[in-house]
Amino acid sequence: MVEGKIIKALSGFYYVISKENQRVYQCRGRGVFRKNKITPLVGDVVLFEESNPGEGYVVDVKNRKNELVRPPIANIDQAIIVASAVKPDFSPLLLDRFLVLIESKNIEPVIFISKMDMVDSDKQKAIMNIREDYEKIGYSVLTLSTKDPEGLLTAKNYFRDKISVIAGQSGVGKSSMLNAINPLLDLETNEISTSLGRGKHTTRHVELIEVNEGLVADTPGFSSLEFNELDQQDLADCFPEMRERKADCKFRGCMHHKEPKCAVKAAVESGDIPSYRYDHYLHFLEEIRNRKPRY
């Protein structure tokens, strides 16, 4: 048996790149997976055996360090959130929604803010201030445009030796950015529909494509931005600046909402935590509390 990594799943076939010879094998899953209700995912490290030249069967799936349902992918090292400065307008609330979802899966987030060549000086200043806030929290933030070779070179280095997913709302320029980093990809891009103010999804199946000696899942990112799998008591842990202060709250299990002597609220009042981040936390907390119960 040979170890490999699934780089594409399509119509019941798994395309596995062999660790041994770097060749790609078209494999089927053994019936045992269906019996045990295991579905091999793109990103899985698997054992497979060759049945014919270039073909084989996946016989075992190694333990995963993480997995996503949408897109269905495993063992992700980082999620690159692409947010555009304009068209669609930059939204800190939407950015925080992505960050919470990614933090909840124990995946490292990286923030790219695209289309910086299209902003005026006031908007640029506002975005640079927000960038500073997120860098203080500990996030890597890159501002770039597809016309800025230096920024693209910096962006390219983030992909090396990692499995990445690209997240972000439609129309922010995810495919355009990947094409600019690696023109050989020639990914299909769709302009934003101006009447709807949103782009169309252009990717249809999950595939890992090579970008600068790393692998990237070319998918529309998260098709659902609901907090369906997140409990309210775990929400604050998805905000790193709250996570590191929770031990200083008076009450264990403090929700940083109406409790007295809360270290998080004190940090908001002193300006150490941006008030908009705290507002987003309360917004998400309310959303989770009002969620319909699951049965």
Per-residue tens of pLDDT for the chain, all 295 residues: 999 999 999 888 999 999 999 999 999 998 777 778 888 999 999 999 999 999 999 999 999 999 887 778 999 999 999 999 998 899 999 999 999 999 998 899 999 999 999 999 999 999 999 999 999 999 999 999 888 888 888 999 999 999 998 888 877 777 777 878 777 666 655 443 333 333 444 445 778 888 888 998 866 556 568 888 899 999 999 999 999 999 999 999 999 999 999 999 999 999 999 999 999 999 999 999 998 776 5
Which numeric CATH code is attached to 232-289? Answer: 1.10.40.50
**Residues, the chain:** 295
What stretches of 138-189 show up as alpha helix (H) in DSSP? 149-157, 174-181
Q: How far is CA 243 from the centre of its chain?
A: 20
Phi, psi (deg, nearest 5) at residue 133: -60, -45
The encoded tokens of residue 159 equal: 């992909």
CA distance 60 to 50: 13
Pick the CATH number of 2-63 from 3.40.50.2000, 1.10.150.120, 1.10.357.10, 2.40.50.140: 2.40.50.140
- Give the domain ranges of the chain: 2-63, 68-217, 232-289
Pick the CATH number of 68-217 from 3.40.50.300, 2.60.40.10, 1.10.10.10, 3.40.718.10: 3.40.50.300
Task: Name which of 32, 27, 64 is nearest 48 in CA terms.
Answer: 27
Q: Where are the beta strands (DSSP E) in the chain?
A: 2-10, 13-18, 24-29, 45-52, 55-61, 67-68, 73-74, 78-84, 108-114, 140-143, 163-167, 208-211, 214-217
Contacts of 238 (CB under 8 A, 6+ apart): 99, 100, 103, 104, 230
Contacts of 194 (CB under 8 A, 6+ apart): none
